Chain A
Amino acid sequence: MKVEFWGQEFQVNMVVGCIGGFLIAIMSSMFGFGGGPFMVPLMTVFLRLPMYLVVGSSLLAIFFSTTVSSLRHYQFGNFDLVFFLAMFPAALIGGYIGPQIAKRVSPLAVKRIACVGLGLLALNLLGVY
């Protein structure tokens, strides 16, 4: 498939993109996360698209899957309104404060902390400690 973006044309391998997106969507909706950190590498590394094309478009693709996954979870009765109302405003406020803090911290340090933190969480879930 050909995609035109800001005067440049890109050749996108939709077969790889769709299969990858499909698998990421199953995984992310099953475990309840967005999937951005997987979607971006899929599009940049496997589809060889430049970052500036990927940022917006991957968000749109993920929005599709999050919407449907929310509806389906609701349908199966996995949604708790009170719990949601406790977290939702906080997520909004966080989304507002976050970018302002982001200007002041080094992305490298954040990534390193995230790396360690995620590793610890993972080992905890796997029951290593």
Chain B
Amino acid sequence: MKIRNKILLWIVLGVAILCPWQITQAVAAADPAAVPAAVPTISIDKTTLDNGGVITVTGTAPAGKSVYLEVWASDHSVRSSRFDSDKDKQTGKIPYIFYITKDMPAYYTICVPKDMQLKIDAIKKEGKKWSYASLLRDLGAEAAYSVPAAAKIDRYQASLMASVVGSRGEILPAMDDKENRQRSMQLVKARFQSIDKLVNAAVDVRPDGSFTADIKIRHGLAPGKYTIVAVVDKDSRSMPAVFENTISFPTVYMENAGTSMNLIYPFVLSLVVAIFGVLMGAGGGFIMNPLLLTLFPVLPHTIVAGTVTPTVLFSQGSGIYNYSKIQFISWKLGAGIGCAMLLGAFIGPKLTELITLDQFKFAFGWILLILAGLMFWQTTPGYMEKNKKEQAILKEFKKRAEASAAGK
């Protein structure tokens, strides 16, 4: 009995020695702290979230000032790219420069005072041509914008020749901090797309300078640590408050896509689409891509296109194998046209990067309309009649091929 007590004591001591960093961290986050004159303070009501939720931030700031909260995922970053083909207003030249960064936080938002909702709504009405830089300027939130500004951005001079050989082009020298900051704002827009995701009128500032804000963290965001900093102006930023977002299987974080997703959704979707694809005689890609983009707007179109493509490889391969067994493939014809397609396929993925999500959707929309037209043509009586004959011949030849393969 005594021995057991002793052991327990030691365990408690050991835990007490190992734990303090956790405890102090929690204390730092939860302590509203004394109020130094100019620097805002901040505290949060909980330190963990389970796949999203609401976190309440309270704090103090100098009275009479607007308070902004910069919130970002500090554990995971994603890629963001943008192709600048807008005419320069001063020189009239089109730059054709491709910007890409790997350091974009997987989640990024700025919470602004609640009374700015009207301004946000006004900017939203302007449509898709909004600019993140002027949004920040209009809301006075420029000082709060810091994390993506520090992302290292590479830029490439794209050229027609480079595109043909499928390269990104010549890498240009790094930008200075000011330009990096400017360009990073465009990449923020390219990555997060919507105003709603980037700014939230959530901060309730009282006349004495104390403030509260409910920050809603959506489902399907990156797991790991998130950081919140309260900002009043350039030189007065609060200490960071950190909380953790956890996800559990079957919800899994997808590193390249930068979102977490319940794996069951893409599985079921892919299953249904694959079956239907077989029935209508088309690969699943035609339906899978647009469906994924419509149902999961968080997924970047480059990731969708790049990940759906290889899923059909196996079924194509097994199809070829089955046909080749009965020698039902003209290798000369297939490989001949295949070589031309090879070149096209070398260039295509490069172009995916260069277009925005809206352009992607627009072009895909028209492709699908053409495909729907093709399908319609295949249901017309004239085609059906012809197809019946063709199918009969096809069957006849296949039978012969199978017989000869079996005879060998």
- Where the two chains meet, the residues of A that have a C-beta atom closer than 8 Å to any C-beta of B are 1, 3-6, 12, 14, 17-19, 21-38, 41, 43, 49-53, 55-70, 72-84, 86-95, 97-99, 101-102, 105, 107-108, 110-112, 114-119, 121-127
Contact = CB atoms under 8 A, between A and B. Distances in A.
Contacts of B257: 80, 83
A58 B334 contact: yes
A57 to B, nearest CB: 4
A38 to B, nearest CB: 8
A64 to B, nearest CB: 3
A64 B330 contact: no
Contacts, number: 393
B172 interface: no
Contacts of A38: 371, 374
B312 A34 contact: yes
B22 interface: no
Interface string B90-133: 00000000000000000000000000000000000000000000
Contacts of B353: 76, 78
Contact of B279 (A6, A86, A98, A126): A98
B314 A36 contact: no
A20 B314 CA distance: 24
Interface string B210-252: 0000000000000000000000000000000000000000001
B372 A22 contact: no
A12 B305 contact: no
Contacts of B343: 22, 25
A90 B270 contact: yes
Interface in B270-301: 270-291, 293-294
Contacts of A12: 333, 336
A52 B352 contact: no
Contacts of A5: 330, 333
A108 B281 CA distance: 12
Interface of B: 79, 166, 252-257, 261, 263, 266-291, 293-294, 302-320, 323-324, 328-353, 360-369, 371-372, 374-376, 378-379, 384, 387, 390-391, 393-394, 397-398, 400-401
Nearest to A118: B372
A72 B293 contact: no
Main secondary structure of the interface of B (DSSP, over half): helix
Given A34-B316, A56-B323, A23 B344 contact: yes
Given A41-B374, A94-B284, A124-B294, A66 B345 contact: yes
A98 B312 CA distance: 14
Nearest to B256: A80
A94 to B, nearest CB: 2
A18 B334 CA distance: 11
Given A36-B283, A102-B279, A126-B366, A84 B305 contact: no
B278 A98 contact: yes
Contact of B314 (A6, A61, A91, A108): A91
Contact of B307 (A41, A64, A78, A110): A78
A61 B397 contact: no
B384 to A, nearest CB: 7
B375 A25 contact: no
B345 A65 contact: yes
B236 to A, nearest CB: 38
Contacts of B351: 26, 30
A6 B397 contact: yes
A27 B374 CA distance: 16
